[in-house]
Amino acid sequence: MKNVWLRNLVALLAVALFGAVGPQTAAAQAKTIKLGCAISFTGAKSRSGKLYRDAYNMAVKQVNDDGGVKVGGEAYQLKIVYYDDKSNPGESSKLIEKLLAEDKVNFLLGPYSSGITIPDSLVARRYRVPMIEGGGASGKIFSHGNKYVFGTLPPAGQYFKSTLEMTQTLKPAPKTLALLYADDKFDVSVAEGTKKLAAGMGLKIVLFEKYAEHTSDFNSILTKIKAANAEMVLVAGHTEESLNFTQQAKELNVSPKLIGMTVGPSEADFRKSLGADANYIFGVASWSPQMNFPGFLLPDTQEFVKKFKAKFNYDPDYHNASAFANVAVFKDAIERAGSLDAAAVRNAIAKTDLKTIYGRVRFAKNGQMKGASVVLQIQGGEVYQVFPDGVRPPIYPFPAWKSRR
Amino acid sequence: MLLQILVNGLLKGGLYALMAIGMSLIWGVMDIINIAHGSFIMLGAFITYWLFTILGIDPFLSLLFSVTFLFLFGYAVQRYLINYVIRAGAFITLILAFGIEIFINNLALVSWTADVRKVKVSYGAANFAIGDLVTIPTVRLIAFGLVILISLIFFLILNRTNLGRSIRATSQDLDAARLMGVDVAGTYAITFGMGVGAAGAAGTLWSILFPISPMMGGALTLKSFVVVIIGGLGSMLGPILGGLALGIAEAFGSNWFGATYENLIGFTILVLVLIFRPKGILGGTS
Amino acid sequence: MNKKTVWRIAGFAVLLPAALLFPLVGNNFIIRFGTDMLMFAIMASAWNIIGGYTGYASFGNVVFFGIGAYITAVVMEKAGLPFWAAYMAAGGGAALFAVLIGLPVLRLKGHYFAIATLGVAEAMKALVQNLKITEGNAGIYLPMLDMPIRTQYYFFFYIMLATLIVTLLATHFLLRSRLGYALIAIREDEDAAESIGINTTVAKTIAFALSGLFTGLAGSVHAYQQAFIKPDSVFTVHITVKMLVMAVFGGMGTLFGPLLGACSIEVISEFLSNYFLVAHTLFFGAIVILAIVFTPRGMIDLFSQRRLSIAYFLQNIREHRI
């Protein structure tokens, strides 16, 4: 951290002394393809933003080390131009305009979160430049006829599908469900989709409760869950909310038979923060490090997991893998298009059928990836894929808090 | 269930009161709206986190460190910064506090990254049950006790010591106090230090209960505003009553209307209290 | 014509052609940057009417911005009306809201007024997050402007510019009217103003409504330009803080101060975030602190000094320290 500080200070002095020196003086412009990305370095979403940047950078380095992107017999190096969107959608879309108008980037990589992806993708649409994003799954991104945005997360409405399917295999299968969700775009989509799926499976929804994004106190909701006596609780929210929910469930001694969450359990931070209290919680993800697919930039998923861990010193999760796949899709599509023309590349992206470390990437007509989520569970402090094709069987029911230790 | 909701509300209210008591003191005595209050809470939380993570110091023990450090820090901020503009009026100090907030938050962000961190103590989620009716989270109960203790200390300092007399004198009439030989600048700095020290205590408790990150302060400042206004300025009982009122209103409100209405309830109460009882629920009508 | 008016006319004469020609020299992003600068200039100037001239430091002016933006979204997307109708409705709606909320809230003074307006803004955000017609916290799309890209940028820039010109002209004529004198009298001493027969309630409410009107118009153009808005992004307290920092930085209670403040703050933050990807906000905080300590009366006051010297800064500190 210290040297970032120092570097900034030195840069400030340099600017003060020598006047405006452009930040990018490197000239070799002829043979680079610039990818533009406005993503959260600061603000509430900066933690997740980092997950994407790490993977983008790793993928770009891999492409360049392997000889770059080949277009018409010439090899191009990939380069990402980043800006900090300050976790602010208005700021973000402005920066996309800057990337396109001023930095003249060729294509766009997505930001993190559905709420920021929408305004960004509208700029892409205005300029008719394709954007591939791995950080926004809300159906609303793809519902407005925008032909220039492609997403590699499965549709939000389907997130809990695998979890619900799994519960049908459990004995005895839970019958009542409490569904909590944050009021942002992504989680509302998750909740509405899940509600339909649950009704189709004959589950009884005893509580369908929305809470405000960034809520820290779940005591009243937990009290309601206890009163409703729900066997299964599903939470569609963000990492901090998942953390709060879990600790407070313990504080108030609320132990349903199953707790499942969208965002949180797959992330290393979540497990580190909660320690043993994270055990037995179910998560969902479009990907898990226990999968093994043959890859495009790297031989297979396991190779990716190994390299990633060595490089960044944390376990990759689906955010990282999705971001890695975004760059892979660009390389593949640009090479198939055989040109840097935005329209040609867009059409090539739409026709993508690529085996990546993230799985097989194909896009539906609306631009969202075809795919499904898998169920994870934290067991003994590690994440295991438990359904479908689990490496371990799910542990059910959830051992009551009081009976632990 | 109703009883549990009431208990939830009361304990949450205790936490709110703990957050707001320092802001109330600073506002009441010096007429400074400390927008950076939440940032000081954040610093208290991070001090506890680092002491716990690096040195293994128990969060309740680190209360001593966070309160002391933030007292000194607050003292310095007032003495060497705010004191220089204080006569330019409340509005200017408010914007200055805003600058301080941005500065502290982003310094924390640059040094510690935006990672969400958690003080992992075994008793973080400890609780006990009274019959089958109510479950009481222990740490929240302690927070409740702590705010009563702090307000008692503040009360004693203000009413039983020479320092307290100086503080009250400067608060009532700055020039008169100076003429009487009160070290006005020093008194202001000590008052600000006390308020910020209380924020440090709130930060420590907060870090045991919730995950922390450099940007956590803004929402806490807003909540503290509501508490201070509802309780009214000028008494140590104000923030406690304000906190409890808000906690209970939120607990029942979110139970009846849904959890997304929490903020709507809080801020509507704030506006109504201001319009109808601008001196707080304790004070008069005008 | 007094000296002030001459200065103002000269100011318009220099600034107007410069602003009109601005889009012709820059790329799209520069135009967009200019549009945002104008937007903040409108809001800082509108804030100045209530905060600077009347002495009521509103801490919730963003509520008008958000209302303007959401009225535009709902009128265009749900009612299918053209932008011009939405623009009018946005300004009118924001002004009306200012009157309704101003009647009770303008009775409060100082801090209490500031916090009450903050509360109104936060409560309104929470309300919009829960309403069906605004599509809740998930955000709402607006129809997209169907023009060539470059034309779109011109369109938004010139509408924003026209709105700013109207704002400044309205402020100028307001100040020369009886109402203007009433506002300044209220700022200096409200009780005295009342005792000489000024109807302070009416005067304050009109000032607040004008402030709301122009802020709402800025919100309307912004929403159409973004084509998608969320409660968080158009009701955030940070926008209020920005307008108020701009007004103070440039010079409260002066016609061109807020404009100057908006331009310089935008340029500074743009410059900083270009060079310091992470630490730029930190430096911004430091700049706010330094500006408040050394030039609490704003840059206009700084420029009006005949001779710029360290003594000016020290004088400010001496005046305000204890």
pLDDT at A138 over 50: yes
pLDDT at C163 over 90: yes
Whether A82 is in a domain gets the answer: yes
pLDDT at A183: 87
pLDDT at A25 over 70: no
Q: Does B91 touch chain C (CB under 8 A)?
A: yes
pLDDT at A401: 87
Ranked by mean pLDDT, which of A28-32, A382-386, C311-315 comes out on top? Answer: A382-386
> In terms of CA atoms, which chain C residue is nearest residue B223?
C119
Question: How many other C-beta atoms lie within 10 A of the C-beta of residue C108?
Answer: 18
Nearest CA of chain C to the CA of B279: how many Å?
9
Nearest CA of chain A to the CA of C70: how many Å?
15
> In terms of CA atoms, which chain C residue is nearest residue B272?
C116
- How big is the CA angle at B45 (ends C269 and A6), to the nearest 5 degrees? 40
3 state DSSP class of C56: coil
Q: Which residues pair with A74 in a beta bridge?
A: A71
Mean pLDDT of all residues in chain B?
A: 89
Nearest CA of chain B to the CA of A193: how many Å?
20
pTM of the model: 0.88
pLDDT at C4 over 70: yes
Q: Which of C279, C219, C254, C174 has the alpha carbon at shortest distance from C65?
A: C219
List strand residue ranges (DSSP E) for chain B, in order.
127-130, 134-137
Instruction: Give CA–CA dist C299/B248, Å, rounded.
Output: 47
Mean pLDDT of all residues in chain C?
A: 90
pLDDT at B206: 92
pLDDT of C50-95, one tens digit each?
Answer: 999 999 999 999 999 999 999 999 999 999 999 999 999 999 999 9
Q: Which residues pair with A282 in a beta bridge?
A: A260, A377
Q: Does A253 touch chain B (CB under 8 A)?
A: yes
What residues have CB less than 8 Å from A363, skipping those under 6 apart? A150, A349, A350, A352, A369, A370
Amino acid letter at B105? N
Inter-axis angle of helices B59-80 and B184-209, to 10 degrees? 150
Helices (H), chain C: 3-25, 28-47, 62-73, 83-105, 110-130, 149-176, 178-188, 190-195, 200-226, 231-234, 237-250, 257-275, 280-294, 298-303, 310-320
Model confidence band, residue A13 (pLDDT cutoffs 50, 70, 90): very low
Query: Does an H or E element contain C143, and which?
Result: none
Q: Which of C184, C186, C213, C212 has the alpha carbon at shortest distance from C199?
A: C186
3 state DSSP class of B129: strand
- The answer on A345 and A268 residing in a single domain is no
- The answer on A192 and A311 residing in a single domain is no
pLDDT at A148: 95
Instruction: Give CA–CA dist C100/C79, Å, rounded.
Output: 25
pLDDT at C281 over 90: no
Please state the φ and ψ torsions of residue A112, each to the nearest 5 degrees: -105, 140
Instruction: Give CA–CA dist C17/C25, Å, rounded.
Output: 13
CATH number at residue A77: 3.40.50.2300
pLDDT at C277: 67
Instruction: Give CA–CA dist A248/C319, Å, rounded.
Output: 52
Preceding peptide of A388 cis, ω within 30°: yes
pLDDT at A24: 44
Instruction: Give CA–CA dist B207/B209, Å, rounded.
Output: 5
DSSP state at residue B83: G
Q: Are A244 and A215 in contact (CB under 8 A)?
A: yes
Q: Are C240 and C62 in contact (CB under 8 A)?
A: yes
pLDDT at A17 over 60: no
Sheet of strand A149-151: strand arrangement: A69-71, A74-84, A32-39, A107-109, A131-133, A149-151
Q: Which residues pair with A205 in a beta bridge?
A: A177
Nearest CA of chain B to the CA of C150: how many Å?
36
* A11-15, A134-138, B144-148: segment of lowest average pLDDT: A11-15
> Residue B73 to residues B185, B192, B222: CA-CA distances in angstroms?
15, 9, 22
| C298 against A14, higher pLDDT | C298
- The answer on A308 and A279 residing in a single domain is no
Query: Does an H or E element contain B229, and which?
Result: helix B217-231
pLDDT at B282: 65
Sheet of strand A204-211: strand arrangement: A204-211, A176-182, A232-236, A258-261, A282-285, A374-379, A382-387
pLDDT at C137: 86
Cβ-Cβ contacts under 8 Å between A and C: the total is: 93
pLDDT at C1: 58
pLDDT at A186: 86
A362 is written with which tokens?
């194909």
Q: Does C188 touch chain A (CB under 8 A)?
A: no
Q: Regarding beta strands A32-39 and A74-84, do their DSSP bridges make them parallel or antiparallel, or are they unpaired?
A: parallel
Instruction: Give CA–CA dist A395/A69, Å, rounded.
Output: 46
Using CA of residue A270, residue A275, residue A277, residue A279, what is the dihedral sign?
positive
Q: Which residues pair with A38 in a beta bridge?
A: A83
Instruction: Give CA–CA dist C82/C87, Å, rounded.
Output: 9
- The answer on A200 and A145 residing in a single domain is no
Share of chain A above pLDDT 90, in %: 51
Q: Which of A135, A137, A134, A191 has the alpha carbon at shortest distance from A164?
A: A191
- The answer on A254 and A393 residing in a single domain is yes
Model confidence band, residue B65 (pLDDT cutoffs 50, 70, 90): very high
| C214 against A161, higher pLDDT | C214
Instruction: Give CA–CA dist B168/A225, Å, rounded.
Output: 49
> In terms of CA atoms, which chain A residue is nearest residue C275?
A23
Preceding peptide of A397 cis, ω within 30°: yes
Instruction: Give CA–CA dist C212/C298, Å, rounded.
Output: 23
CATH number at residue C62: 1.10.3470
Residues of the domain holding C212:
3-320
Share of chain C above pLDDT 70, in %: 98
Amino acid letter at A240? E
Question: How many other C-beta atoms lie within 10 A of the C-beta of residue A267?
Answer: 25
Q: Is the CB of C285 less than 8 angstroms away from the CB of B174?
A: no
Q: Is the CB of C144 less than 8 angstroms away from the CB of A127?
A: no
Tell me which residue in C57, C110, C293 faces B84 most closely, judged by beta carbons: C293
* A7-16, A281-290, B96-105, C11-20: segment of lowest average pLDDT: A7-16
Q: Is the CB of C245 less than 8 angstroms away from the CB of B106?
A: no
pLDDT of C220-277, one tens digit each?
Answer: 999 999 999 999 889 988 899 889 889 998 999 899 999 999 999 999 888 887 777 6
Give how many domains chain C has, as a whole number: 1
- The answer on A171 and A73 residing in a single domain is no
Q: Regarding beta strands C228-229 and C140-141, do their DSSP bridges make them parallel or antiparallel, or are they unpaired?
A: antiparallel
pLDDT of A153-200, one tens digit each?
Answer: 988 888 899 999 999 888 888 999 999 999 888 899 899 999 999 999
A291 is written with which tokens?
């999968």
> Residue A245 to residues A237, A252, A277, B228, C280: CA-CA distances in angstroms?
10, 10, 11, 28, 34
Q: Which of B101, B72, B97 has the alpha carbon at shortest distance from B85?
A: B97
Q: Is the CB of A122 less than 8 angstroms away from the CB of C274?
A: no
Q: Is the CB of A84 less than 8 angstroms away from the CB of C279?
A: no
B residues 106-165 closer than 8 Å to C (CB): 106-107, 109-110
- The answer on A339 and A277 residing in a single domain is no
A residues 76-115 closer than 8 Å to C (CB): 82-84, 86, 88-90, 93-94, 97-98, 100-102, 115
Q: Are B65 and B47 in contact (CB under 8 A)?
A: yes
Q: Which residues pair with A130 in a beta bridge?
A: none
| HEC per residue, A267-280 | CHHHHHHHHHHHCC
Helices (H), B31-128: 37-55, 59-80, 90-112
Inter-axis angle of helices C237-250 and B90-112, to 10 degrees? 120
pLDDT at A26 over 80: no
Instruction: Give CA–CA dist C129/C123, Å, rounded.
Output: 10
Q: Are C75 and C178 in contact (CB under 8 A)?
A: no
Q: Are C145 and C159 in contact (CB under 8 A)?
A: no
What residues have CB less than 8 Å from C173, skipping those under 6 apart? none
- The answer on A105 and A77 residing in a single domain is yes
Q: Does C244 touch chain B (CB under 8 A)?
A: yes
Instruction: Give CA–CA dist B218/A115, Å, rounded.
Output: 20
pLDDT of C16-62, one tens digit each?
Answer: 888 888 888 888 888 999 999 999 999 999 999 999 999 999 999 99
Nearest CA of chain B to the CA of A186: how many Å?
16
> How many angstroms separate the most distant Cα atoms in chain A?
73
Mean pLDDT score, A215-241: 90
Q: Does C137 touch chain A (CB under 8 A)?
A: yes
Chains interfacing with B (3 or more CB pairs < 8 Å):
A, C
Q: Does A309 touch chain B (CB under 8 A)?
A: no
The ipTM, to two decimals, is 0.86
Q: Does A46 touch chain B (CB under 8 A)?
A: yes
Burial status of residue A313 (CB atoms within 10 A of its CB: 0-12, 13-18, 19 or more): exposed
> Residue B257 to residues A177, A204, A241: CA-CA distances in angstroms?
20, 22, 20
Query: Does an H or E element contain C145, and which?
Result: none
Give how many domains chain A has, as a whole number: 2
Show residues of chain B in contact with A1, CB under 8 Å. 110-113
A211 is written with which tokens?
């809470």
| C159 against B151, higher pLDDT | C159
- The answer on A279 and A175 residing in a single domain is yes
Q: Are B273 and B238 in contact (CB under 8 A)?
A: no
How many residues are present in chain B?
286
Show residues of chain B in contact with C127, CB under 8 Å. 264
Q: State the best of B102, B175, B220 to mutate against chain C, taking most chain C CBs within 10 Å.
A: B102
Residues of the domain holding A269:
158-289+374-403
Whether A367 is in a domain gets the answer: no
How many residues are present in chain A?
405
pLDDT at A30: 54
